[in-house]
Amino acid sequence: MLRIFFSSTLLASALPVVLSACLVAADEDMNPDHNADLNHTPPSSTPAPHADASVTVGQRQSTTLPFDQVLKKQDADFVRCASSAGAFEIESSEWVLDHGLTGEPAVFARTMIADHTKVAQKLDTLLTSKGLDGPDGMTGSDRKALDTLEKTPENQLGKAYVDAQVAAHQTAVKLFADEADNGKDADLRAFAAANLDMLKSHLAHAQAVQ
């Protein structure tokens, strides 16, 4: 991880990650030809399901398939961004604790690690039950947000971290609410709805600390 000096002012302007930025970065980083190749059948002796096919829990495939070749775009975008957001929450919180964060921001950071680890495990279990491989790593926008946080001087780290958490959770609440209302896959809709209140609670906590 890069650690270069940056001011928290730059962090505040760089960290509000909107949903559209997440989706653009995801398409570029995780699957550059996502839109063009959504229905592409990977080289295999077993044909992949159509990109718009809905795979319910319990219907495990004999071999795992990339999630974005099976799920509809709405759901694939949600999986990609939700996975990335969770990774950012965990890694950013671990990083600030490793660099001496104390007080209420540190309490919040430990909560983020515990809660988002559980959510990430639930999403992974859900995808595995569908015979799908999940995303690999963060989107470009979340990697940049983490990199910016790591460039913050330690005497500004508490404020920078909490500001980042407020911005990240504002985005996550919108992401999960949209999937809960508009998702095509029933299991992912239920997953998003089940975790939405927790994210709203995190946002309120971060704003109180801010």
Residue 82 domain-assigned (yes or no): yes
Residue 149 domain-assigned (yes or no): yes
Given this model, what pLDDT does residue 10 score? 39
pLDDT tens, position by position, 24-70: 555 555 444 444 343 444 444 444 444 444 444 444 445 889 999 99
Given this model, what pLDDT does residue 63 score? 81
Given this model, what pLDDT does residue 23 score? 57
pLDDT tens, position by position, 56-115: 444 444 588 999 999 999 999 999 999 999 999 999 999 999 999 999 999 999 999 999
pLDDT tens, position by position, 170-204: 999 999 999 999 999 999 999 999 999 999 999 99
Given this model, what pLDDT does residue 28 score? 53
Tokens (6 digits) for 130: 């569908």
Task: Count CB atoms within 10 A of the CB of residue 110.
Answer: 13
Residue 85 domain-assigned (yes or no): yes
Residue 106 domain-assigned (yes or no): yes
> Which residue range is the domain that position 107 belongs to?
17-25+67-209
Question: Which CATH number does the domain housing residue 104 bear?
Answer: 1.20.1260.10
pTM of the predicted model as reported, rounded to 2 decimal places: 0.73
pLDDT tens, position by position, 115-151: 999 999 999 999 999 999 999 889 999 999 999 999 9
> The tokens 């795979």 sit on which residue?
55
Number of structural domains the chain divides into: 1
Tokens (6 digits) for 202: 């995190």
Residue 202 domain-assigned (yes or no): yes
Residue 135 domain-assigned (yes or no): yes
